[in-house]
């Protein structure tokens, strides 16, 4: 499959910084549009909300600053899923945390090396293209899953996890909101759970472009080849529940529930926090971490007025 050339929006009030970004992001790899300030960036985004695969956004700018642009994007139905790479020369721990909690995908402290920037942009574009593919597939699949009261599903491979996520998403009224969360948790059950690919190991495999190769190898090798993950869906009067269980040894899940500035520069590791903060009202891990339950509250109809 030939992927489209990534479209990037580069936002900075400094012409020199924009020039450096353009030099760091060669035109044979990326198609870049520049904006000198937050208001110009917002005008471009609002005019063409489906155009860009990622936004590189300076935090400190006169007028509309980067944080305001980020917040407006996260409140916009067509822009809220675009990865935003926040960049600033003053990246304190509190500022980094604030940016991540507001929805920034990555946080870059100036100055940074070209290889670092390209790796982060590539990861952001890859994840956004994956999201766009999932959203497109959702449009083609059935909505009769909203009739589902309960169901148990088993899956073993990343492809099965993806197909299951798209199927189960239609059990929810807002499929676009929950599909990425379901996919992240089902993939986590396969990769980190059943296949025992640790966080640092996954980082190295992504860097070496060997993650898919290693997943395929383990899927065909004992003891991993016999392991399956289970998803149990339940519709209750006031909420929808999805429980995902793998056959791995578990992990220290507590530090992944929130966006952590320590992982702001990693190419993965945000899926659980995204599921917890964006896709569902809450997620709960049990025991050693090989079982997670997601909860999404249902809106209650207003009581009828007496006549």
Domain of residue 254, CATH code: 3.30.565.10
- Tell whether 260 and 154 lie within a shared domain: yes
Q: Which residues contact 247 (CB under 8 A, 6 or more apart)?
A: 193, 194, 227, 228, 229, 290
Q: Work out the percent of the chain whose per-residue pLDDT is above 70.
A: 91
Domain that holds residue 33: 7-133
- Tell whether 249 and 183 lie within a shared domain: yes
Q: What are the pLDDT digits (tens) for 144-163?
A: 788 889 999 999 999 999 99
Q: Which residue among 133, 158, 193 closes a domain? A: 133
User: Could you write out the three-class secondary structure of 85-118?
Assistant: EEEECCCCHHHHHHHHHCCCCEEEECCCCHHHHH
Which residue in 70, 75, 84, 113 sits closest to 9, CA to CA?
84
| Token pair 């020039």 in the structure block, residue | 19
In the predicted structure, residue 110 carries a pLDDT above the cut 90: no
Rounded Cα gap, residues 268 and 276, in angstroms: 16
Beta bridge partners of 151: 233
pLDDT classification of 107: cutoffs 50, 70, 90:
confident
Q: What are the pLDDT digits (tens) for 71-95?
A: 999 999 889 889 999 988 766 777 7
**Residue 95 domain flag:** yes
Q: How many domains does the chain have?
A: 2
CATH code of the domain containing 53: 3.40.50.2300
Q: Which residues contact 288 (CB under 8 A, 6 or more apart)?
A: 249, 250, 251
In the predicted structure, residue 302 carries a pLDDT above the cut 60: no
Rounded Cα gap, residues 211 and 99, in angstroms: 29
């Amino acid at each position: 499959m030939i992927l489209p050339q990534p479209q990037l929006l580069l936002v900075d009030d400094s012409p020199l910084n924009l020039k450096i970004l353009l030099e760091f992001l060669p035109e044979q790899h990326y198609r870049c549009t520049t904006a000198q300030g937050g208001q110009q960036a917002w005008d471009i985004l609002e005019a063409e909300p489906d155009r860009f695969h990622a936004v590189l956004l300076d935090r400190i700018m006169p007028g509309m600053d980067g944080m305001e642009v980020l917040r407006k994007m996260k409140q916009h139905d067509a822009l809220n899923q675009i990865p935003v790479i926040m960049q600033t020369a003053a990246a304190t721990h509190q500022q980094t945390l604030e940016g991540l909690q507001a929805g920034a995908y990555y946080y870059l402290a100036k100055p940074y090396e070209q290889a670092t920037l390209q790796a982060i942009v590539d990861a952001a574009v890859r994840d956004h293209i994956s999201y766009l593919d999932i959203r497109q597939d959702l449009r083609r699949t059935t909505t009769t899953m909203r009739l589902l009261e309960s169901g148990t599903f088993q899956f073993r491979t990343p492809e099965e996890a993806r197909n299951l996520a798209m199927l189960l998403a239609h059990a929810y009224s807002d499929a676009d909101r929950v599909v990425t969360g379901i996919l992240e948790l089902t993939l986590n059950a396969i990769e980190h759970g059943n296949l025992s690919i640790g966080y640092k190991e996954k980082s190295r495999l992504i860097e070496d472009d060997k993650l898919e190769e290693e997943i395929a190898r383990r899927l065909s090798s004992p003891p991993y080849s016999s392991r399956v993950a289970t998803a149990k869906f339940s519709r209750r009067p006031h909420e929808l529940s999805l429980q995902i269980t793998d056959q791995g040894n578990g992990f220290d899940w507590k530090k992944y529930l929130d966006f952590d500035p320590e992982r702001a520069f990693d190419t993965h590791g945000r899926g659980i926090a995204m599921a917890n903060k964006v896709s569902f009202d809450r997620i709960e891990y049990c025991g050693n971490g090989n079982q997670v339950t997601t909860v999404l509250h249902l809106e209650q109809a207003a009581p009828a007025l007496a006549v």
